[in-house]
Amino acid sequence: MDSDGMRQIGTLLGFAALPIVVVYFVLFQRAFASLDELERERFVKDGALPRWRRMLALAPYPIVVFVDDGWVRTFAIVWVAVQLFLDSRENHRRLANAGFTPAFISRLSRISMLSGAATLAFLTGIALRGGFLG
């Protein structure tokens, strides 16, 4: 496929991720709203990942956006995918240790997968375009 075709697929993936992100936020807000006030506080306090984990997950985003090398962008997207998986597992483990029900954790897991799919589609779209400014 020529570079124009790859750029068009990249643009399509980038825009296709937007409605998925909106659905993710709606579903997450519904799940969060189903908790009572004490559970919400526990969710934020006990379920949150350390700041360094979040920074590690966000580190590859500028690489995908600004680096011209396709292999480096591909490595960065794989890094994001692995971090999404590891962070999601760790978050759900923390919630289980905090006493949240398996049903709630399962619901949150499905919502997290939707977020991961949107993130990977968006980043892949940017990479196929040759970077954000490409």
Host domain of residue 75: 3-129
Minimal CA–CA distance to 120: which of 87, 89, 74?
A: 74
Domain-embedded: residue 112 = yes
pLDDT at 128: 78
* CB proximity list for 121: less than 8 A, separation 6 or greater: 13, 14, 16, 17, 20
Each residue of 43-71: pLDDT tens digit? 989 888 888 988 888 888 888 778 878 78
Domain-embedded: residue 68 = yes
Domain-embedded: residue 18 = yes
Domain-embedded: residue 134 = no
Name the domain count of the chain.
1
Domain-embedded: residue 118 = yes
pLDDT at 12: 83
Q: If pLDDT is split at 50, 70 and 90, which confidence band does 16 have?
A: confident
Distance, in Å, from the CA atom of 58 to the CA atom of 56, rounded to the nearest integer, reads: 6
Q: Does pTM surpass 0.85?
A: no
Q: If pLDDT is split at 50, 70 and 90, which confidence band does 132 have?
A: low
